[in-house]
Chains A and B, each alone.
Chain A
């Protein structure tokens, strides 16, 4: 059996969970077994049953007052108990913020081989091989797992959303967590609520120091808004606080894999590329034709961002209006 971890926050299922549900279902089909979800947190049964659309037949729902916030130690115990009670051979999670912490802990607890950041479904024809990105996107490694139990965390946007139709039954699951298990206290959660989370975004518009100042970000936000994209920035921009740190993509910021990455006035230093080079399509807009980013781009426009970006925004609006 394949057990899929349904990540959630404040009662809401995260988008990444729908992606891993589809991945878990596809893997289970390959293995000739079934895929079941485990949700640890505070999500209503009705919301969980929608995961059936992605092919999960059953969801175990572990709810109690000690599980409202993500705590890797407590959630590991809860998921390990679900592994034990279902006899799952493979646990699938998203390689997102929570998934990174949880997959590592589960691997150590279950003595299960781990592939952290899978980019494809496992090859189960001859053993169990899982491909993962290494050396900051400059190569791939095929990991072989021989342990009885296995843990796979899947890179966000690597598999995509695959609806199959159906409904899932939801069962209450007693994770056996009491107040004594909880060692950390969440004092506050601070989120920018009305924007698309960068790590989940399929489309991203990003800009660099070439924009000269934070007051010039209006056109970037407008373009992102027209596309339904998230906004991002390069390191120098977040270093001088023109943009918040959570928008910083690159080696020291976050790594993203959107379908479309539009880089405006970013030269494309190797440290920046490390965070974005797994994007499916890269568009570079830069007035310097020699900018190294053009070598990593699929499409490029050599031109002044202040002229090109508003025009591109209008062109996309026109395309959307006609579509």
Chain B
């Protein structure tokens, strides 16, 4: 089984989001591997390799500072990694770089997390599948494969669907598919010497640009209502908030 796992680098969940001159203020930000890429996509890929044999390759699009999160992915159990040396400005640029690599490497499965916690698009997996002309199953909460045929559970409104796919595919993963793994000392040591190949970008540009950022309006402080007077809450929800 030859598996590619796409990982992204994002600001830690608790980061205070600020902008200067319409750029995200990156000072004092702790960068992490995107949670759903790490906990779900990567761990399920490593589990499948442990069960059936094969290889897990990591791909990331970014500068040399991203090597830190790539090494973490290798410590969790991936075998090797590719970093496309580019500073992407939108999801299409990312997907296009990954597609260029994947076209030549013929992976059986390509995993992504469900969304990145910075731009929240749920986009790269779908774009990648289209560029490679492969099936795409999004929001998978279970995935089993015998190497030629995979059975995948995906979430839909108010329930789930069980899907069977033969041949190569792209999948985006979410909670339920695997449990987070903490890299152990042996993993961390071996990650240092695992191959990390740096390739140059294909020159394909972005399809969109961010012109400006805004912060949401400051929330007014909470109106507290006495627990003995819930009728007041109902009145406010009807007359002031106009939601019931």
A contact residues vs B (CB 8 Å cutoff): 9, 14, 69, 71-73, 76, 95-98, 100-109, 111-117, 129, 131, 133-147, 183-193, 195, 197-200, 202-203, 227, 245-246, 248, 251-253, 255, 259-260, 270-271, 274, 280-281, 283-284, 294-304, 307-308, 311-312, 315-316, 318-319
Contact = CB atoms under 8 A, between A and B. Distances in A.
Interface stretch (B48-56, B100-108, B194-202, B229-237): B229-237
Contacts, number: 274
Nearest to B99: A108
B139 to A, nearest CB: 6
Contact of A300 (B169, B207, B215, B225): B225
Contact of A319 (B174, B213, B225, B238): B238
Interface residues of B, number: 82
A104 B216 contact: no
B45 to A, nearest CB: 18
A297 B222 contact: yes
A274 B161 contact: no
Contact of B126 (A104, A134, A184, A200): A104
Nearest to B124: A104
B233 A312 contact: yes
The binding surface of chain B is classed by DSSP as mixed
Which of A260, A299, A318 has the largest count of B CB atoms less than 10 A from its CB?
Answer: A299
Given A104-B124, A315-B230, A260 B224 contact: no
A303 B96 CA distance: 53
Given A136-B13, A142-B214, A189-B161, 19 more contacts: A100-B139, A104-B121, A105-B127, A107-B123, A111-B207, A114-B208, A116-B123, A135-B120, A136-B117, A138-B215, A186-B161, A187-B151, A246-B155, A298-B219, A299-B233, A299-B236, A302-B227, A308-B227, A315-B230
Contacts of B213: 134, 139-142
Interface of B: 11, 13-15, 17, 19, 35-36, 39, 91-92, 95-96, 117-131, 133-139, 141, 151, 155-167, 169, 174-176, 207-216, 219-220, 222-227, 230-231, 233-234, 236-238, 241, 243-244
A248 B141 CA distance: 13
Contact of B158 (A101, A142, A192): A192
